[in-house]
Amino acid sequence: MTPFLKRSASCIFSVMFATTSLLAQAGARNSQGTRATPPFGDPPKLVVGIVVDQMRADYLSRFWEKYSDDGFRRLVGEGFLCRNHHFNYAPTSTGPGHASVYTGTTPAVHGILGNDWFDVASGQSVYCTGDDTVSSVGTTSVDGKNSPHRLLVSTITDQLRLHYQQRSKVIAVALKDRGAVLPGGHMANAAYWYEGSKGHWISSSYYMEVLPDWVQRFNTSGAAAAYRKVWEPLRALDTYVESGPDNSPYEGIIDGEQAPVFPHKLPELWEANGGYGLLRITPFGNSLTTDFALEALKSEDLGGDDVPDFLAISYSSTDYVGHFYGVDSKEVEDTYLRLDQDLARLLKQLDKTVGTGNYTVFLTADHGALPVAGYLADQKLPAGNLEMSGMYTRLTEFIQYTYGDIKLIRNISNNQIFLDHDLLRNLDLDLDQVQRTLAAELMTYDVIEAVYTASQMMQAEYSEGVPAILQKGFNPKRSGDLLLALPRGYVNYPPTGSTHGSPYPYDTHVPLLFFGKGIRHGNLLRRTTIPEIAPTLAALLGIALPDGTTGEPIPEVLD
């Protein structure tokens, strides 16, 4: 057992022991002979989990003055804010992020290493939720062929279903398939995602054979078509002083536009940019997600009885807009101001449908993002866009010279290098020694900040810094032989738009808000981490921890 897995087992045992002790105490009689109050109150009727894709923590403070009183400011003012919340692993990307939020652990345990990764067994790249054994539901395309089959552990949503003998409902919604499938877990009643060719919400045969009537009605209602309109700023553009200029060389340009500036005339751009798929890179994708989530709330009667339900919502358009325009663009600012309106709309309907004080909300992100590297470089900060092809060429030449066979490398992806173990054995080469030799060579390259071998990840026990973060993202059966870290501020990415994935604070620091039933009012400055969300929810609900949990509950959050 590796040191990290030993720590995981120890953590799970300690939390289970503490929980058992509390329950034993609750069952004991007090000195007056009456049964003591249990250490947990009535659970909420509904938990709403919100993941905002690519939301940096400082978006709360940067746009604070422009947020309404009913969205982000209500969540902060009436809820609990963890101000120093981080991902404690890398890579920081959408698939691992959603999996980690809902499993209470990291890729080292849950196995979702990236959005895609190289599968050692098959020798092919695999998609985190892709599943050819299931069929699309609601579309004739392959976009529905998804399931959680690559997720190695249970989720908090699975544990809710188990605790209540399948009587709890779990519905997951996102534009991105992985943003719905992974939060829904293995036992979700349904997960729905967006198919851009027709603007419909779809699913897979993993969950159902046909779409429910309410989903079919929604798809034919014209809800998506209503957002085929001009994207204008919500407020006067000259008031968006929290962002850079509207016309910036660091932004992408939609096909058919001459410059990346408002207004964006979607009807004129529609056909050349994938039709309904264009909504993804606008705030209207988030609004459509809210529309659909509210319809799910009503049609599935979520929170309608005393058995807790779970509605998982992931807002994906924030990520698409960030990637396309960059975190300092006016488009990103406008997207967050409009998301604030959508959150206000969601909370208002929850108050009305489930009842104020009857539901609990948490809001976090699946990763942050780096400002456009070229912009940072122009501001004289150490940053830039890396050209990695030269590194690969140089490494290949080194391998040919040293070992006489360039086929030793099977794959390079996700900042990992996979070696051909069979070929190494045939050449009578020692795996550990080859890993160390290549690591030493890579450390001489300017584009590499640090290199760690798989042997180091399995044998050492790192407690801080980049190696500790990389170790929590390392799965012995799925990860590569060499893990690479690029220099801070540098990315292997096009010159426009923002990206993410690193172990550095701009990618790890994200918001965490709790709100509603069972939640204290306040804020916390000490460091908290993503794997602590699921066990905190488990404590709130009084249910078992997800079976891979490595995080601890955040006691300050719970009332």
3-state secondary structure 37-92: CCCCCCCCCEEEEEEECCCCCHHHHHCHHHCCCCCHHHHHHHCEEECCEECCCCCC
Q: What strand order describes the sheet that includes 416-419?
A: 409-413, 416-419, 482-485, 450-453
N-terminal to C-terminal alpha carbon distance within the chain: 38
Is residue 490 in some structural domain? Answer: no
State whether 358 and 404 are in the same domain: no
- My answer on whether omega of the bond before 531 falls inside 30° of 0, hence cis, is no
Mean pLDDT of 109-121: 97
C-alpha 329 chain-centroid distance:
22
State whether 283 and 413 are in the same domain: no
pLDDT at 471: 98
Is residue 158 in some structural domain? Answer: yes
Last residue of a domain, one of 460, 485, 510: 485
**CA pair distance 93, 365, nearest whole angstrom:** 10
State whether 59 and 109 are in the same domain: yes
Residue 204 burial by CB count (10 A; 0-12/13-18/19+): exposed, middle or buried?
A: buried
State whether 300 and 404 are in the same domain: no
Q: Give the active site residue among 20, 37, 92, 94.
A: 94
State whether 188 and 239 are in the same domain: yes
Mean pLDDT of 265-290: 97
Mean pLDDT of 120-133: 96
The tens digit of pLDDT for each residue in 359-410 reads 999 999 999 999 999 999 999 999 999 988 888 999 999 999 999 877 899 9
pLDDT at 115: 98
Mean pLDDT of 541-549: 97
Say which CATH number the domain at 539 has: 3.40.720.10
**DSSP state for residue 132 in the 8-state scheme:** T
Give me the domain span that covers residue 361: 46-117+129-376+501-557
C-alpha 252 chain-centroid distance:
23
Last residue of a domain, one of 485, 514, 534: 485
Q: Among 257-266, 343-352, 383-392, 478-487, which stretch is predicted with the lowest mean pLDDT? A: 383-392
State whether 308 and 457 are in the same domain: no
Is residue 4 in some structural domain? Answer: no
pLDDT grade for 466, boundaries at 50, 70 and 90:
very high
**DSSP state for residue 272 in the 8-state scheme:** G
The tens digit of pLDDT for each residue in 3-52 reads 444 444 444 444 444 444 444 444 444 445 555 656 666 899 999 999 99
pLDDT at 36: 62
Is residue 16 in some structural domain? Answer: no
State whether 280 and 351 are in the same domain: yes
State residue 499 phi and psi, 5-degree precision: -145, -175
Q: Which of 183, 93, 191, 98 is nearest to 146 (CA)?
A: 191
State whether 432 and 528 are in the same domain: no
Say which CATH number the domain at 429 has: 3.30.1360.150
pLDDT grade for 114, boundaries at 50, 70 and 90:
very high
Quickly tell me which residue has 């892709």 as its tokens.
Answer: 130
State whether 241 and 178 are in the same domain: yes
State whether 359 and 250 are in the same domain: yes
Is residue 321 in some structural domain? Answer: yes
**CA pair distance 414, 103, nearest whole angstrom:** 22
State whether 456 and 348 are in the same domain: no
The tens digit of pLDDT for each residue in 489-511 reads 999 999 999 999 999 999 999 99
Is residue 31 in some structural domain? Answer: no
Quickly tell me which residue has 């929980």 as its tokens.
Answer: 19
Residue type, 125: S
Buried b (16+ CB within 10 A) or exposed e, 254-281: beeeeebbbebebeebbeebeebbbbbb
The model's pTM is 0.93
Is residue 491 in some structural domain? Answer: no
3-state secondary structure 281-325: HCCHHHHHHHHHHHHHHHHCCCCCCCCCEEEEEEECHHHHHHHHH
Number of structural domains the chain divides into: 2
State whether 286 and 154 are in the same domain: yes
Residue 394 burial by CB count (10 A; 0-12/13-18/19+): exposed, middle or buried?
A: middle
Torsion of CA 44, 162, 512, 340, to 10 degrees: -60
**DSSP state for residue 497 in the 8-state scheme:** S
92 given a catalytic annotation? no
Is residue 176 in some structural domain? Answer: yes
The percent of residues in the chain predicted with pLDDT above 70, rounded, is 93
